[in-house]
Amino acid sequence: MNHTTIDSIYGTMDDFDQLIQGTKNNNMSVIMDFIPNHTGKESVWFQKSQRREGKYADYYIWAPCDPVNGTYINNWMSVKGGRAWTYDKIRKECYLHQLERDKPDLNLRNSDVRQELENILRFWLNKGVDGFHVQNVQHLYEDQDLRNETLIPGKTGNAYDDFDHTQTRNHPENAKLLQSWKHVLDTFIPKTCRERALVVTTGNDIDAAMKYLDAGVNIVRVNLMSGNGTSLAEHIETILNQLDDDAACKRIGWMYSDKDSSRLASKVGPENVKAFLTIQATVPGIPFNYYGNEIGMTDHPTHSGRWKYRTPMQWDRNGTGFSQNPPWLTQNPNHKTVNVESELSSKDNFTTLKVNRRLQELRRRESFQWGETKVFREGDLVMYTRKAKGFPGYLMAVNLGKDEVTIESLLAATGIPKEVKVVFHTHQTIQDTDISRSMENSYMLGPSQGVILEYP
């Protein structure tokens, strides 16, 4: 493995250089994944560490253990299941892996390791990349003394979720390391007169997200459905209300899925996708769309593990569109009906893709760019307002339930004027009577539907 070459399956370094130049010519940016938490077991670094060769002896986290007798240095569990320690026959010790056992964790307290990682960042920055997405940021550091995790009362201790991960997840040292990497990125500003982006993903942890933003990270990705509650509507309400810092909230990257989790349509049902895209596009922050969510792609019905949500983008009914080469992974059988070409050519003006495009146009308006946010909820009805001083405000009402609702009951709490304009609907054509209407009259919202109202 070499961190500064291109795997031949993807092409050559010349191909990469052309990609960088092509994106610059089209006013686009390239953000690379950066994986500093671990390497593969086939890494030269790990092989030298197995043999205790020079500085590499301490490149990973090793500890004495006796798997025959079930004796390990602590009770840490792997996110992927089983113990986080695996015995190595060559070194005759256990190595730490918070993820799969073929991904040993690097020892980031080793200054040589940190320098190696910084050199990798500088190499790609010199190549012209515009920033990095740091993967597995929550696992970078762990307790230096390798102390036990706290077992949650009533749990058996046989699974990862049985513990409170105070020793191995979002360690305070993580933020300091991110600060140092952001400093490296900032040294390249004078060369191009533009900032390079540092992006991380915290998944469900808003508190960690705020700490990483304070450390100087540009964008922290958070799952928009990760709030607490008994319903999807309550999840959305709680996570938005946790963000009382309006400036920081605008640097949150809202995601529903990625290469390591099921697609949105498979999580909430295809009938709910447009409602959730409406929320993602209109809350303060930056929408991070996993390719295919904008057309309602679903997980593959027979692929196992992560491959079921990594199938190729469904461009047309033939399974091509982007390239005439055979896809690297079998496409979802529904690509014949769920694809970009079909959704654009359809006479239906409310395909998922057409609705999403209208939402992206709305996002350009001032109140969606820097307007203040207020959140309201009644049952499965989520409502929130966005209003920038001196510009029209907007009220979003989204019904995440299975029954039809009226939105009047919450309108009084929002404090918006009664005279409004309907500027967007997920499922219905905006009638002339909706262009300017009074909210004194009943407005019904069907299951999985969303509407956006404009007010002075």
Q: If you average pLDDT over residues 248-275, what whole number do you get?
A: 91
pLDDT at 44 over 80: yes
The amino acid sitting at 256 is Y
Please say if the pLDDT value at position 410 is more than 80.
no
Q: Does residue 438 surpass a pLDDT of 70? A: no
**Length of the chain measured in residues:** 456
Cα separation, 263 vs 256, whole angstroms? 8
Distances (CA, A) of 282 to 2, 156, 240, 365: 41, 42, 12, 10
Confidence of residue 187 (pLDDT cuts 50, 70, 90): very high
Measured CA to CA, the distance from residue 176 to residue 211 in angstroms comes to: 10
Query: For residue 371, is pLDDT > 60?
Result: yes
Closest C-alpha among 447, 442, 438 to residue 416? 438
Q: What is the pLDDT of residue 212?
A: 93
Residue 203 has pLDDT above 70, yes or no: no
Q: For residue range 326-367, what is the model confidence (pLDDT) as tens digits?
A: 787 889 999 999 999 999 999 999 999 999 999 999 999 999
Average pLDDT for 296-324: 90
For the domain with range 371-455, which CATH number is right: 3.40.50.720, 3.30.430.20, 3.40.630.30, 2.60.40.1180?
Answer: 2.60.40.1180
Computed over every residue of the chain, the mean pLDDT equals 91
* The one-letter amino acid at 61: I
Residue 243: pLDDT over 60: yes
User: What average pLDDT does this structure show over 413-429?
Assistant: 87
For 27-32+117-137+169-360, CATH number?
A: 3.20.20.80
First to last CA, the chain: 58
The domain locations on the chain are 27-32+117-137+169-360, 371-455
